Amino acid sequence: MKVYGLIGCPVEHSVSPIMQNAAFSVLGIDALYCSFNVPEDNLGDAVQGMKALGMSGFNVTIPHKESIIPFLDFLKEDAAGIGAVNTVENVDGRLVGHNTDGRGAVMALEKKTRLDGSRILVLGAGGASRALCHALLDEGVDSIYLANRSLKRAENLCRELRKAGGNCTPSGLSKRELAESAEDVSVVVNCTSVGLYPQADETPLPGKLFKSDMVVMDIVYNPLETRFLRDAREAGAQTIAGVEMLVWQGALAFEIWTKKKAPFELMRDEALKALGDGGVK
């Protein structure tokens, strides 16, 4: 039997074990996925242990996505570009780091819209935003407006994206700045944690800035429909729930490990069931 896992802190509420084990089971793969709560000080020992035990692969979540890099043997281009790893593959005893977060978000967006040549407003400039923005550049977007509470952080990420060939404009989160940026875009993605349970009444973008021809995605998936997404839906925009991106990043990890097509619909059904049962208050 192959063994996979998730390392992070905390990991108790993760739906990854449910999604991945369901996918292994339906494809008849003899494998098990478990979650491991690993505090920051134990990260190096944990990774060495996973390697020594011959685990086939694992996911990495907060707070280890960046700090795991020195403990790995090789980084794939996506992970190296983003500077963070969410998926590790054990290739003949060498731990190879991948990042499926950005590509997962792009897969969710591409189900609803063409990204090539489009203008996009991204709210937030943390790790999730960095992963998404690098993947958007890979898709050939025309430009990214990057709005963040800390302007300095938005400027720093924009500088990095320009170096990677992107056309990126930083701003703060004032109503005036947001109105100017939202005017011009066809896609809006929330990569901040605003709206996450229990602050479910909050939203990073005033509802009146949504337009009916926009595609709007939230990375927050608890609640499944955030106020940000509700406002967008009520304005007539097409919306993509955060759970889509969550499932896509897991499906892409599954495909890296097994070299088989992931049963995406099943993984989404299982994730929704688990979130409905206990994740969403």
C-alpha dist (Å) from residue 238 to 38, 60, 69, 87, 222: 38, 31, 37, 30, 19
- Which one of 107-115, 148-156, 224-232, 256-264 is the stretch in contact with ligand ATR (CB under 6 A)? 148-156
Q: Assess 192 for contact with ligand ATR (CB under 6 A).
A: yes
How would you class 126 by CB atoms within 10 Å of its CB: exposed for 0-12, middle for 13-18, buried for 19 or more?
A: middle
Can you tell me the distance from the alpha carbon of 97 to that of 190, in angstroms, rounded to the nearest whole number?
A: 26
Q: Is 65 a catalytic residue?
A: yes
Q: Write each residue from 107 to 136 as x if it is in contact with ligand ATR (CB under 6 A), else as -, in one continuous string.
A: -----------------xxxxxx-------
Edge-to-edge strands, sheet with 31-37: 31-37, 2-8, 57-60, 87-91, 94-98, 74-75
The residue from 110, 150, 179, 184 that contacts ligand ATR (CB under 6 A) is: 150
Q: Assess 172 for contact with ligand ATR (CB under 6 A).
A: no
Q: Assess 153 for contact with ligand ATR (CB under 6 A).
A: yes
Beta-strand ranges (E) seen in 17-167 are: 31-37, 57-60, 74-75, 87-91, 94-98, 119-123, 143-147
Q: How far is the CB of 114 from ligand ATR (least distance, A)?
A: 25
Which 3-state string (H, E, C) describes 116-151? CCCEEEEECCCHHHHHHHHHHHHCCCCEEEEECCCH
The residues, ordered by sequence, that sit 6+ positions from 152 with a Cβ below 8 Å of its Cβ are: none
Residue length of the chain: 281
How would you class 70 by CB atoms within 10 Å of its CB: exposed for 0-12, middle for 13-18, buried for 19 or more?
A: exposed
Q: Assess 194 for contact with ligand ATR (CB under 6 A).
A: yes
Closer to ligand ATR by Cβ: residue 129 or 258: 129
Q: How far is the CB of 190 from ligand ATR (least distance, A)?
A: 9
Q: Assess 203 for contact with ligand ATR (CB under 6 A).
A: no
Instruction: Give the residue closest to ligand ATR by C-beta.
Output: 126
Strand 87-91 and strand 57-60: the pairing is antiparallel
**Amino acid sitting at position 76:** K
Catalytic residue among 2, 51, 65, 259: 65
Closer to ligand ATR by Cβ: residue 44 or 63: 63
- Which one of 35-43, 132-140, 180-188, 189-197 is the stretch in contact with ligand ATR (CB under 6 A)? 189-197
Q: Assess 14 for contact with ligand ATR (CB under 6 A).
A: no
The residue from 51, 112, 114, 149 that contacts ligand ATR (CB under 6 A) is: 149
Q: Assess 174 for contact with ligand ATR (CB under 6 A).
A: no
Can you tell me the distance from the alpha carbon of 113 to that of 83, in angstroms, rounded to the nearest whole number?
A: 27
Q: Assess 193 for contact with ligand ATR (CB under 6 A).
A: yes
Q: How far is the CB of 109 from ligand ATR (least distance, A)?
A: 17
Give catalytic residue positions: 65
Binding site for ligand ATR (CB under 6 A): 124-129, 148-150, 153, 173, 191-194, 204
